[in-house]
Amino acid sequence: MKVIYPAVFHYEDEGFWVEFPDLNGCMTQGDSQSEAYINAVEAMELFLQDDYTVDTLPAASSANKIQTDKDSFVVFVCGEFKVNEKAVKKTLTIPFWLNAQAEKAGLNFSQTLQEALCKKLNVVM
């Protein structure tokens, strides 16, 4: 899923540093404008993937609402939010005999659970 957020590019003697007003703590830098933009895409994608789900993504501000100084400018950064990429560990209990048969059959427990949950929830993986 594509996401777009405004980023403030700050020019300094050694290059640019970038911050995202809507993503508190998400920052990066680059020696050139191009490098800073490439790094901003990566920083934004990683930041969102670590802390958010589709339902909790912050709203993007309008560019005209963001104030900058004379050495800064606003750019919209477009990236990819990978839905369902984050994994969580679950502990569960199953009968001994079922575990033995599943292991003998060489089943992947994580994959089997994912498939069963998707079927039960009527969700396509």
The CATH number assigned to the domain holding 61 equals 3.30.160.250
Which one of 64, 80, 96 terminates a domain? 80
pTM above 0.75, yes or no: no
Predicted local distance difference test score (pLDDT) of residue 120 = 92
What is Dmax (Cα atoms) for the chain?
A: 70
Q: Does residue 124 carry a pLDDT above 80?
A: no
91 with 65, same domain?
A: no
Work out whether strand 15-19 and strand 2-12 pair parallel, antiparallel, or are unpaired. Answer: antiparallel
46 with 96, same domain?
A: no
User: Of 85 and 77, which is predicted with more confidence?
Assistant: 77
76 with 91, same domain?
A: no
Count of domains observed in the chain: 2
Q: Residue 63 in contact with residue 5, Cβ under 8 Å?
A: no
72 with 93, same domain?
A: no
66 with 100, same domain?
A: no
Q: Which residues are within 8 A (CB) of 7 and not within 5 positions of it... i.e. 6 or more apart?
A: 18, 19, 20, 40, 44, 74, 75, 76, 77
Predicted local distance difference test score (pLDDT) of residue 100 = 93
pLDDT level of residue 85 (50, 70, 90 thresholds): low
- Domain of residue 98, residue span: 87-125
Q: Does residue 101 carry a pLDDT above 70?
A: yes
Start-to-end CA distance of the chain, whole Å, equals 15
User: Of 83 and 100, which is predicted with more confidence?
Assistant: 100
Predicted local distance difference test score (pLDDT) of residue 122 = 87
Separation CA 103–CA 87 (nearest Å): 22
Q: Does residue 2 carry a pLDDT above 70?
A: yes
Q: Does residue 50 carry a pLDDT above 90?
A: no
Predicted local distance difference test score (pLDDT) of residue 86 = 63
Mean local confidence (pLDDT), 50-67: 89
SS3 5: strand
Local structure of residue 13 (DSSP, 8 states): T
pLDDT level of residue 110 (50, 70, 90 thresholds): confident
**Nearest residue to 46 via CA among 66, 65, 18, 27:** 27
93 with 74, same domain?
A: no
